[in-house]
Amino acid sequence: MKKFEIPDRYRSSIISRLKEIRKLDDPRKKDFKPTRLNFGPIEFLIARHFGFCYGVENAIDIAYKTIEENPGKRIFLLSEMIHNPHVNEDLRRRGIEFIMDNYGEQFIGWNDITSKDIVIIPAFGTTIEIQNMLAEKGIDTVKYNTTCPFVEKVWNRAGQLGKNNYTIIIHGKAKHEETRATFSHSIQNSPSVIVRNIEETKTLAKIILGEIESMEFYKLFAGKYSEGFSVENDLRRIGVVNQTTMLASETETIAEYLKETIIKKFGIENIKDHFADTRDTLCYATNDNQSATIEMLKEEADLAIVVGGYNSSNTTHLYELLEQKFKTYFVSDADKIVSKKLIYHFDLHNKKEITTENFLPSKEKVVIAITSGASCPDSIVDNVLNKLLSFFNTAKDFNEVLGAVK
């Protein structure tokens, strides 16, 4: 696999060693059990897979090389490079300007961008409309394109399905950059519609089966379907693709539900003519991170901590998994852990940061499950571990503990 040049400030002394130990012990990644780091009064359950994925490392490598190789030039990012505040703020400090926010709201007008400027396309990709507009301005849309190859794989699969007259059902968040980009590519070859979750999928299924009037589709899925979409004609042959940061298990559930719906409508003997198997579009990194988090749910812990950007889709899904069993705290960095008695953390359900007192239980041994999103640097996880360890004076040394890892 390609090696990337990642700034030292994003690397770690602890997590990197731990990942290397696990890699040597399990090179084929068959063991998803968490690693136990027993420091005596505190024990960590570290997820088998977490942190920077291939697509994120590729984007960071290109972005920092672009800065280094183009002194004096204006460099822009279409939107956030990845959904991590520390990475994006560091890029701003180094002179990169952001053209728009995550939802397409512009900070800088297109008329202010010229052929002399560099525009970096983020890991989520961008719409064909924006890509064509940049090309018309004479801006290189290839050299500085950091679109994740697994996102492009989804686009390619959608294109293949479209050429075979399948309608594309996209499992994603309609306003997310990646889903907007995928939708833009998908509609070039196929009618397309976005579903957010299994609830919206069930609604779509009722429309397919005629249990909800077809005209209701246009109200219920307003802003989520392609121009000229015909309920009568465009829901007869379908295939499902996803925003790669969504829960893989939910995408599979959605695909299976729609498959069963198609069987009800056209009969199992005709399934191959009406439903396309698209399991090969699931992102391996998202899948691995989620599988490792699910494996942690088989363990016992006093609480869980998820580290990452609050607007990171893949990170929020890790939180949603862990909160099913543990009291879970979502933090962006170690500074949110103020003391043994106070933590600032993101309330995902109310979309705001809140404080909790006495979050660490008073007991002889505290067990904490920890993971992070695919856009979170390992160095930030290191800082979280060190912060938590600082609250326990009798904790063992890291070298001693890592030496005992098996």
Question: What residues are labeled active site?
Answer: 178
Q: Is the separation of the CB atoms in 59 and 53 below 8 Å?
A: no
Residues 174, 398: Cα–Cα separation, whole Å: 44
89-96, Cβ contacts within 8 angstroms, sequence gap of 24 or more = 90/7, 90/9, 91/63, 91/67, 94/67, 95/67, 96/63, 96/67, 96/120
Residues 219, 231: Cα–Cα separation, whole Å: 12
For 326, counting Cβ atoms within 10 Å of its Cβ (0-12 exposed, 13-18 middle, 19+ buried), the class is buried
Q: Is the separation of the CB atoms in 278 and 255 below 8 Å?
A: yes
CA distance readout (Å), 210 to 132, 191, 193, 266: 39, 19, 17, 13
